[in-house]
Amino acid sequence: MRVLEMNHVKKSFDNETIHVLRDISLHVDEGEVVAIIGPSGSGKSTLLRCATLLTQMDSGDLIYTGTYAARDEGGRSVYAEKKILKEIRACFGLVFQNFNLFPHYSVLKNLTDPQISVLGRKKAEAEKKARELLAKMGLEDKADAYPCQLSGGQQQRVAIARALAMEPKILFFDEPTSALDPELTGEILKVIRALAEEHMTMVIVTHEMAFARDVADRVIFMDGGVIVEEGAPEDVISNPKEERTRQFLSRFSAE
Amino acid sequence: MTIQTMLQELSRGFLTTLSIFFFTLLGSLPLGLVVNLCRSCRIAPLRWLTKIYISIMRGTPLMLQLMVVYFGPNLIFGISTPSNWRSMAVIVAFVINYAAYFAEIYRGGIESISLGQYEAAQVLGYSRAQTYGKIILPQMIKRVLPPVTNEVITLVKDTSLASVIGVVEMFTRARQIAVAPHSPGMLTFAAAAVFYYVFNYVVAFVMERIEKALDYYR
């Protein structure tokens, strides 16, 4: 099943003077893990923000499991009505670079409150789900702690658990390890790898090339607002066809 | 007049001071939230009106505002005000003045909350009202406590302005006593100063307690 489809997405800022996305099309199938790599300013994050409805596209389609969140009508993206967008929001999750946990809520409440407030789950049910996920993240003893009492890696695992508690069909990661030191990066990558083994559908924007090569089913290399190269990781990362990809990856060759 | 009578009289005035203080906070702390919402709402005319209101409240003396609220209805609109209008006018004037200040303090608090909090709430599917009520407001309250404390302490002292429309709160009473024959004179003002100081000491203590109680997160 096709979980996400984006067709001919364009996005510019400052009265169309800065073109961040120039005609991007991509699709993600159920169970697929897609890694998006590329230099800073290549439009990776904007693409993710468009997919998660945090930024509006100028033109192009955005489709989740066959439902249009936005449809291109005469070169303009027309977004669906509020009710449909709410349903669409329920089918994806996003893990931010800087976690964005709710600091005034305990770890447990960070996981239960969205389930109760948004999905209308009963408190007991939400707590059961939350504790299962915390156990899976190796954080069962942190349920009553507050985010500020946790390390960056622990906070990011809580953020992943919070997203998973909503049972999304697809999970986006926006540079999930960029705010972490190498040691903590490892623990997050381990968690994402475990999710990949469970065939969680994921789109991961990352600078961890070795990780992208190991975990992704498909790698997309972006630069200057376009997809330069796309394919199996062994092709794109280990054996790139495009000169620009080779140039970019040469900086990581030391790894 | 003995010192004891003077203190009794001041205490009676202090009750009026206390009630101005209490009712002003009761009205202006929540009204400030409403003003703050109007200031950033989607209806442009309401936004402008709110900005004008805040600008007038901050740009003119509270003493003048007290007089306008008290005398205005009668002098400007010819409405005959009820007999207890004096005590109502003082609360109305204080509430609308302090609400403007609190609204600006709240705005500062809300603007200091990172965009990431809104985005996280939005992606999780929280509605706008839920985002505001559950995520933004509680964090805002913690951040605005120090400036709110400042404002509350100013309010304790500002209650003395009520004397301009003849409300007999503690300071008005102290002035009356001080000029009366055979009174303790300047000692009355010293006693009034102690009242204000102790009151503010208690206010500062309570606010510090509240800040400590919210210290469980950063």
Pick from A202, A139, A142: which is nearest to A170 by CA? A202
Average pLDDT over residues A166-177: 91
pTM (two decimals): 0.86
Q: Which two tokens stand for residue B93?
A: 């004037």
Average pLDDT over residues A118-143: 90
Q: Which two tokens stand for residue A44?
A: 């990776």
Supply the angle between the helices B3-39 and B137-158 in degrees, to the nearest 10. Answer: 140
- Selected residue of A100, A110, A112, A174 to mutate for chain B interface (largest B Cβ count, 10 A): A100
Asked if A113 and B218 come within 8 Å (Cβ–Cβ), the reply is: no
**pLDDT confidence bin for B216, thresholds 50/70/90:** confident
A202-205 and A170-174 strand pairing: parallel
ipTM of the complex: 0.91
Cα distance from B217 to chain A (closest Cα, Å)? 6
Nearest to A148 among B123, B130, B217 (CB): B217
Answer whether A232's CB lies under 8 Å from A34's CB.
no
**pLDDT confidence bin for A254, thresholds 50/70/90:** very low
- pLDDT exceeds 90 at position B173: no
- Spell out the alpha helix ranges (H) of B78-185: 85-111, 115-124, 128-130, 137-158, 170-179
Q: Each residue of B12-67: pLDDT tens digit?
A: 888 888 999 999 999 999 999 999 999 888 888 999 999 999 999 999 999 999 99
Answer whether A122's CB lies under 8 Å from A156's CB.
no
Phi–psi pair at A205, nearest 5 degrees: -85, 120
Residues of B in Cβ contact (< 8 Å) with A55: none
Asked if B122 and A53 come within 8 Å (Cβ–Cβ), the reply is: yes
Give the pLDDT score at A173: 93
Residues of B in Cβ contact (< 8 Å) with A104: 138-139, 142, 217
Which DSSP string do the residues of A204-244 spell out, in sequence order?
A: EE-S-HHHHHHH-SEEEEEETTEEEEEE-HHHHTTS--SHH
Give the CATH class of B3-213: mainly alpha
- Selected residue of B119, B124, B127, B142 to mutate for chain A interface (largest A Cβ count, 10 A): B124
Domain assignments of chain B as residue spans, ordered by start: 3-213
**pLDDT confidence bin for A162, thresholds 50/70/90:** very high
**Dist CA A94 CA A48 (whole Å):** 9
* Cβ-Cβ contacts under 8 Å for B1 (sequence gap 6 or more): B177, B180, B182, B183, B184
Q: Each residue of A75-117: pLDDT tens digit?
A: 888 898 989 999 899 999 999 999 999 999 999 999 999 999 9
- pLDDT exceeds 80 at position B183: no
**pLDDT confidence bin for A160, thresholds 50/70/90:** very high
**C-alpha distance across the termini of chain B, in Å:** 55
Give the pLDDT score at B195: 87
Answer whether A60's CB lies under 8 Å from A75's CB.
no
- pLDDT exceeds 80 at position B129: yes
B contact set with A (CB within 8 A): 114, 116-117, 119-120, 122-126, 130, 134-135, 138-139, 142, 216-218
Give the pLDDT score at A152: 86
Provide the 10 A C-beta neighbour count for residue B186. 9
Q: Each residue of A24-45: pLDDT tens digit?
A: 999 999 989 999 998 888 888 9
CA distances to A176, B50, B54, B79, B161 from B32, rounded to whole Å, are 39, 11, 10, 28, 21
Asked if A94 and B114 come within 8 Å (Cβ–Cβ), the reply is: no
| Three-state DSSP state, B16 | helix
* Average per-residue pLDDT for chain A: 89
Answer whether A234's CB lies under 8 Å from A213's CB.
yes
Answer whether B178's CB lies under 8 Å from B188's CB.
yes
Average pLDDT over residues A189-195: 88
* Average per-residue pLDDT for chain B: 88
Which residue of chain A comes nearest to B117, CA vs CA?
Answer: A100
Cα distance from A118 to chain B (closest Cα, Å)? 6
